[in-house]
Amino acid sequence: MSDVPPVTVGAADVPDGLFAAVAGPTAVAWMVTYVLAIRQASRDRRVGIPAYLVAVNIAWEFSLTFLLEQTPTQRQINFLWVVFNVVLLYQAMRYGPRDHPALSAKVFRWSLAGVLVWASVVVMVGANEFHDRDGMYTGMIIQVPLSASFIYLLRRRGSSTGQSMYIAVAKTVGSLFAGLTAFVVYPSHHLLHVLVPTYVALDLAYVVLLHRAMRREGRPPWAFRAPPAGTGAPAESSAAGSGTGPASHAGVGPPVR
């Protein structure tokens, strides 16, 4: 074991330019993810980010924005994330019950509120336990179930409803640069070196699985205004009938979180 617990080692002295190069894309990519997720959920009437993880996410961001020490710039970024997540939480309350048919809408919403409160307590206690003032440990730990939950959501629904390749890619970029930020700021914190590759691998797997699902549905993966899942003919059957293959449907269908 280490002579000095890595968690006691403070942040590295990182040049402003290097920090901006990794933290900047993190902030932008996650804001893009939130905007796209809100848009897709509004169109498909299904949550764009798994509902219970929205509650965990907003608990983390709220705590870092209003309750823990932050630099002014980071606090402003966190505040913007909270604003978007309030909308996502509203959508989770409204559309989330559709993904949990075993629960009544009332039970689902109360359980979502319970997760929100529990996660807020965990973030605050974790910040105290690890002296994790900037939420690096709790943030990286949250990322693993968040990334896994997208794969679970895709499998549970059996379709790409509520999802898009642009959400998947923006989320992957934001998570990747968040991990790079952790590596730069805390190079000696080895737990982060395990968590980051884990969730990046899950994000990449989700991108591949979502792309395959959309092609099976005949839904053009990279069409920004692609038809919602279930409105087009499956790519395989369409290809058999026309002899042109799946690519012939790219760009077909009505406009689309």
Per-residue pLDDT of the chain (257 residues; tens, 9 = 90+): 888 888 888 889 999 899 999 999 999 999 999 999 999 999 999 999 999 999 999 999 999 888 887 777 778 888 999 999 999 999 999 999 999 999 999 999 999 999 999 999 999 999 888 888 888 899 999 999 999 999 999 999 999 999 999 999 999 999 999 999 999 999 999 999 999 999 999 999 999 999 999 999 999 999 877 666 655 444 333 344 444 443 333 333 333 33
Give pLDDT tens digits for 209-248: 999 999 999 999 998 776 666 554 443 333 444 444 433 3
Query: What pLDDT does residue 226 have?
Result: 63
Q: How many CB atoms lie within 10 A of CB 122?
A: 18
d(CA 227, CA 252): 8
User: What string of DSSP letters covers 64-123?
Assistant: HHHTS---HHHHHHHHHHHHHHHHHHHHHHHHGGGG-TTS-HHHHHHHHHHHHHHHHHHH
Structure token pair of residue 138:
């709790």
Query: What pLDDT does residue 68 have?
Result: 84
Structure token pair of residue 158:
């059996």
d(CA 99, CA 47): 9
Query: What pLDDT does residue 218 have?
Result: 92
Query: What pLDDT does residue 131 have?
Result: 86
* HSE of 229, CA atoms in CB hemisphere, 13 A: 24
Query: What pLDDT does residue 230 have?
Result: 58
Instruction: Mention every residue, 6+ apart, whose C-beta is less than 8 A from residue 100.
Output: 51, 108
Query: What pLDDT does residue 229 have?
Result: 65
pTM score, whole prediction: 0.84
d(CA 31, CA 36): 9
Query: What pLDDT does residue 224 have?
Result: 79
Query: What pLDDT does residue 227 have?
Result: 65
Query: What pLDDT does residue 213 have?
Result: 95
